[in-house]
Amino acid sequence: MKYRTLGQNEQLSAIGLGCMSMSHAYGVPDDDESIATLHYALDLGINFWDTADFYGNGSNEELISKVLTTNRDKIFIATKFGFRATEDGKGSYFDGSPAYMRQAIDASLKRLKIDVIDLYYAHRVDQKIPVEEMVGAMAELVQQGKVRYLGLSEASANSIKRAHAVHPIAALQSEYSLLTRGVEKEILPLCKELGITFVPYSPLARGLMTNTLNFKDLPENDFRRTLPRYQEEYQENNANLAQAFAELATQKGCSPAQLALAWVLAQGDNVIPIPGTKKRDKLKDNAGSVDLALTPQDVSDIEAVLAKYPNVGDRYSEANYKWADKN
């Protein structure tokens, strides 16, 4: 494994592990395989693990604790707060208030069974309160010794600047992949300027770029069924894109996942993607991307494939965009 630096001297694996799918959003959980995958991550040197209190209504943090507590010194653990289920359990809303944050941090520490969280994110930027108020309250957690570093997720450039002026923001997590590139114009340069680690989630376009995603076989409760990119009107384009990309990867002597992740890694030495999986074989495949160096010709070939199949669809539905940061 290769490593990249967060903050001043935290050495994190260049590929992290997104743990959401172990308990939430994608298909049926398999706790035994997930725990085996967590142990295997340690064997591979993957020390940067990402979860959130909302994943599985806290069950993802509890699952991770089974490996985390006995390997605490080997793992840099990140979790998030803010999303809450509605009373009927059928919906969700965002609460970035200091009052809720103080409840959320203690609940996460209890579920994870640890004394301090390495990286604590606000899962979104609350549109109802100033970002300075939210981050100011998060900074108190650092002073109390409950949190080591602060992060934001899906924040606008303006919010990042305002938050960073209150307390250093160590990491920004946002969706970024070959198919989702909205952060390139403003966010990536800003993170570089401010010394913020950029953490792409869904760097494989929620599995699409692996050429293993069968749209029609997705479980009824799979989150991707609600997203435009995975709907019928885009399926032919995206299946053809995935196939062509896989053929290109074969020509390069790697898997499509490795080629896609290598492209993300090449966007900056402050970039640490967190592809999610609950399976050991996929984790091993993802980890191999750190050894793949792309040439200018490789990048040109990738862009040519993308240009051939442009009708990929949006990453989110209108309902998902209601939490977009407009600050």
Q: So what's the pLDDT on residue 318?
A: 79
Q: Does residue 244 or residue 7 have the better pLDDT?
A: 244
The residues pairing with 136 across neighbouring beta strands, listed in sequence order, are none
**pLDDT tens-digit readout, 121-164:** 999 999 999 999 999 999 999 999 999 999 999 999 999 999 99
User: Is 176 a domain residue?
Assistant: yes
User: Is 27 a domain residue?
Assistant: yes
Q: How many CB atoms neighbour CB 57 within 10 A?
A: 14
Please name the amino acid found at residue 154. Answer: E
* Block residue for tokens 């074969």: 250
For the chain, the domain total comes to 1
**Pairing mode, strands 117-122 and 147-153:** parallel
User: Is 229 a domain residue?
Assistant: no
Give the residue numbers marked as catalytic: 55
User: Is 212 a domain residue?
Assistant: no
User: Is 156 a domain residue?
Assistant: yes
User: Is 311 a domain residue?
Assistant: no
User: Is 36 a domain residue?
Assistant: yes
User: Is 235 a domain residue?
Assistant: no
Tokens of 165: 């002026």
Tokens of 164: 């960073």
Domain of residue 198: give its range: 3-205+265-291
What's the pLDDT band for 7 if we cut at 50, 70, 90? confident
**pLDDT tens-digit readout, 163-185:** 999 999 999 999 999 999 999 99
Q: How far apart are CA 97 and CA 243, in angstroms?
A: 45
The answer to whether the pTM exceeds 0.85 is yes
Give the CATH number of the domain where residue 193 resides.
3.20.20.100
Q: How many CB atoms neighbour CB 327 within 10 A?
A: 16
Q: So what's the pLDDT on residue 25?
A: 65
**pLDDT tens-digit readout, 217-229:** 777 777 788 888 9
Of all residues in the chain, the percent with pLDDT exceeding 90 is 83
Give the mean pLDDT of 79-88. 90
**pLDDT tens-digit readout, 41-66:** 999 999 999 999 999 889 999 999 99
